[in-house]
Chain A
C-alpha cells in the first residue's frame, strides 16, 4: 500500500473477496521526505500515514517493510548505472522485477502469504491452455501491463491485481469515496518516485556530473555543444541551441545519445525511424511460445504509454549460441533508445519483454 488510491481500493476489494489481507508499505528510502510534494504520490511519511489510515479503515493490520537497501542497489543505483552506460532504463519495471515481485513476494511467501496484491491496472487470467496469462487492464488509459511485462510464470502465479477489470480510474476514485477512504481524491503520481521534484535531468546531473560535450550530425561534423549528454533523450527536438543550421534548414532531432563519449547525435526526423529492435535480455510472461524461433505476429510497445505497433518477432541464435529476440515493426518506430524495454503483446495478452540493446535504422545514412 503506497498511500495512493489504487492500492487502497485494491486492498479493500481483496478484503471483500474474503481473503486474509495484511497491508504492507514498502520503505524504499531510509530518509523519506515528510510531506507529499508535486506530483509524487508515494514514499513520504505522509504517504505512509495515508496507507496506514486506509488499512485502519479496512480493519486490516498494517506494517512497513524496509527494502531501502535493495531498492537503492537494484533500482536507484541501476538507474544511474544504466544512464551512465548510455541506456534509458525504466525504474518502475525494475522495481516490479526486483522488489515488488521478487524481494517483497519472496518474503511474503516465506511468511505464509499466498500472493502479493497491488493496485496495478492489469489482469492475470487463466488462458485456454490452463496457464496463467498477463493481460491489459479494462481501463485502457490506465493500463500498466507494460511495467509488469517482466513477470514470469512463477511470479504471475502469486500476483493479484484487483483493479484489472475496472473500466476506469474514475470508478476507482468513486469507489474509494464511497468506502470513505481519505485518499479518494489524492492526485496520481507520474514521476519517478525517488526523484522528489520530478527533475530527472537535474537529479542525474548531480550524480553523473555535467561535462561539456559535442553535438554532431550523422556524418560526425560538430554542430554544437551541450552541458552533459545524459540530459538528452532520443527523439528530443528542443533545447539544443545549435549554432550551425542544418543544410536543408529542417529541424533536427536527437538520434542517439553516446554517453560514454558524451556526444549527442542529431539529424532529421526521418532518421529517427527504427526498422528493427533486438535484445538478448528477454523473458516470457507466463507460458513461452511453443517455438519462438519461428516468426510470429505480435504488437510491440516501447514505452509505458506508447501505442502498440503491429510487428513480427522471432528469436535467433548466432554461431556462438547467443540468443536474441528480434522484432520488426510493420511501420518504423520513433524515439527508440537502447536500454528501453519493449513489451510484446498478442491482442491484450502480454507475451513477454526484452531490453532493447540493438536497433537498426529504417533510413540509412545519406538516404
Chain B
C-alpha cells in the first residue's frame, strides 16, 4: 500500500463524505424548482450549506458554492475589484509575494486587462508577510486601494499569516480583505464573524471574503465556496438564473455540497485534537528528516506554532526535488516538490524565491503534507525511504550542470 503524504494537493475522501454524496446523488430535483422534489433537493443543499457555514463562523446565506477554490478566489478578487470601481477609481490591489497561482494569475490578469495596479508585499525569510510594508501601503494609498488579498496560510511552506492583524489594518483603512483559506481550512480554526467583531470591521471592509475548497479536507473535488459577508459588495462573474444571491448563477450541485458538508462536519468534530495529533506526526517527520541526511534545511517557520500542522517543507542541497520525488515515488511514498501544475513541468518555487532563497535552493525543494488519515507508519515509511533516495538524488545532482558525456 502506497504511503500518501501529499495532502496539500488533495486529500483522500472521508468515508462519511462518500456516503453523504452517494446518498444525495439519489435525490431527484433541482433545488431551484418549485415542486416538492425541488424542495427536497433544496433542503439537502441548504442543510449542507448551513453545516459548512457553522465550521466557518458564518450564516448559510454567506456561503456561496463555487466549482473549486480557484473559482472562489477569482470571484473574490475580480468581483471585489470591479465592485470597488463603481463609485471611484480604486486601482490598487495589495497582495503579498508567494501567493497561490489562483491569486497570482488573477491579479496579473486584472493588471493586464483592467488597469489594476499591483502593490506587492514582500515576505520575510520564513515566508511571512511583512506587516510593516502592508501597513505603510495602506496608510499611503487607502483611498485608492480596491482590495487586499492574501493567503491565510501558505500552501507550499505552510507559514501561517498574521491574518488578524491584516484584518484589523484593512478594517481601520476601510478596505475589503479577501483571505484564501484553502490550505488553512480544516487545519486551523476559522471564525469569520469573530474575526470581524474582534477587528471592528465596518460594513464592506475588513475581512469580507474567504475562499475554501472541499477536496483539501476530505471532501469531493469540484466544489469550493466563497464565504461572503452580508455587507460585501461584489460583481458576479457568472450570470444566469440568479442562484446564490445572484453572486454565482447556475444549477447547484446538491451531491457535492452534501459531500463537502459531511467532510466539513467530520474535520471540525474535534479540530483542535486532530491538529495536535497531526502536528506531532509532522514534528517527528521534520526531526527525523533533519537527522537522517546532511544538507537538508527546513523551509518556512521553524516554530511549530507558526506553520500548518500538516506541513513539512525542505530544501536538499545538491539534489533536484523532482529526482527525490521520483525516487520516493518508486519507493512507494507520494510527496510533492511544491504546487502541482498543468504540464507537470517543475518550476523553481516562486514562494521560495519570494523568501529570498536561491534558484538552486528552490530546485531542491520537497513538500511533505500530512492529513486526517496520516499515521505513524506513514512517517516511518518516509523516514525509512529518505536516506537512500537522498543519496541517489545527490548523485544525480542538478541537471543544469555539465555532464561527463560533454566533450
- 1/0 per residue, CB under 8 A from A, across B386-407: the answer is 0000001101110110011111
Within 8 A of A (CB), among B353-407: 392-393, 395-397, 399-400, 403-407
- Provide 25 A-B residue pairs closer than 8 Å at the C-beta atoms, listed in order of the A residue: A22-B326, A27-B343, A30-B347, A48-B343, A61-B330, A64-B322, A64-B343, A64-B345, A65-B322, A69-B400, A70-B400, A98-B406, A102-B405, A103-B399, A103-B403, A105-B405, A106-B396, A106-B403, A110-B396, A110-B397, A111-B326, A111-B393, A111-B395, A154-B405, A155-B405
Q: Is B295 an interface residue (CB 8 A)?
A: no
8 further A-B pairs in the complex, CB-CB below 8 A; given A66-B322, A66-B399, A111-B396: A27-B346, A48-B345, A63-B325, A64-B346, A70-B399, A103-B403, A110-B392, A111-B392
Contacts of B403 in A (CB 8 A): 102-103, 105-106
Within 8 A of A (CB), among B284-333: 322-323, 325-327, 329-330
Q: Is A249 an interface residue (CB 8 A)?
A: no
Within 8 A of B (CB), among A13-27: 22, 25, 27
Give which listed residue, B342, B345, B392, B397, contacts A66 with CB less than 8 A.
Answer: B345
The closest CB in chain B to the CB of A46 belongs to B343
Q: State the A residues within 8 Å of B (CB).
A: 22, 25, 27, 30, 32, 45, 48, 52, 61, 63-70, 98, 101-103, 105-107, 110-112, 152, 154-155, 283
Task: Tell me the complex Cα distance, A109–B363, Å.
Answer: 20
Q: Answer whether A107 and B343 are a contact pair too, CB < 8 Å, given A67-B399, A69-B400, A112-B392.
A: no
- Complex contact A45–B343 (CB within 8 A): yes
- 1/0 per residue, CB under 8 A from A, across B332-347: the answer is 0000000000111111
- Nearest-CB distance from A64 to chain B (Å)? 4
- Complex contact A111–B327 (CB within 8 A): yes
Contacts of A67 in B (CB 8 A): 399
Q: Answer whether A66 and B396 are a contact pair too, CB < 8 Å, given A61-B329, A154-B405.
A: no
Chain B: number of interface residues, binned into ranges: 20 to 34
The closest CB in chain B to the CB of A27 belongs to B345
Contacts of B344 in A (CB 8 A): 25, 48, 52, 63-64
Q: Answer whether A101 and B405 are a contact pair too, CB < 8 Å, given A107-B396, A110-B395, A111-B393.
A: yes
Task: Tell me the complex Cα distance, A68–B397, Å.
Answer: 16
Contacts of A45 in B (CB 8 A): 342-343
- Nearest-CB distance from B399 to chain A (Å)? 6
Contacts of B343 in A (CB 8 A): 27, 32, 45, 48, 64
Within 8 A of A (CB), among B210-227: none
- Complex contact B399–A107 (CB within 8 A): yes
- Nearest-CB distance from A84 to chain B (Å)? 22
Give which listed residue, B326, B329, B345, B404, contacts A106 with CB less than 8 A.
Answer: B404
Contacts of A63 in B (CB 8 A): 322, 325-326, 344
Contacts of B325 in A (CB 8 A): 63
Contacts of B404 in A (CB 8 A): 106
- Nearest-CB distance from B321 to chain A (Å)? 10
- Nearest-CB distance from A154 to chain B (Å)? 7
Contacts of A32 in B (CB 8 A): 343, 345
Contacts of A25 in B (CB 8 A): 344
Pick the most buried of B329, B347, B405: most chain A CB atoms within 10 A of its CB: B405
- Complex contact A106–B400 (CB within 8 A): no
Task: Tell me the complex Cα distance, A159–B346, Å.
Answer: 26
- Nearest-CB distance from B302 to chain A (Å)? 29
Task: Tell me the complex Cα distance, A24–B345, Å.
Answer: 12
- Complex contact B323–A107 (CB within 8 A): yes
The closest CB in chain B to the CB of A45 belongs to B343
- Complex contact B322–A111 (CB within 8 A): no
Contacts of B342 in A (CB 8 A): 45
Contacts of A69 in B (CB 8 A): 400
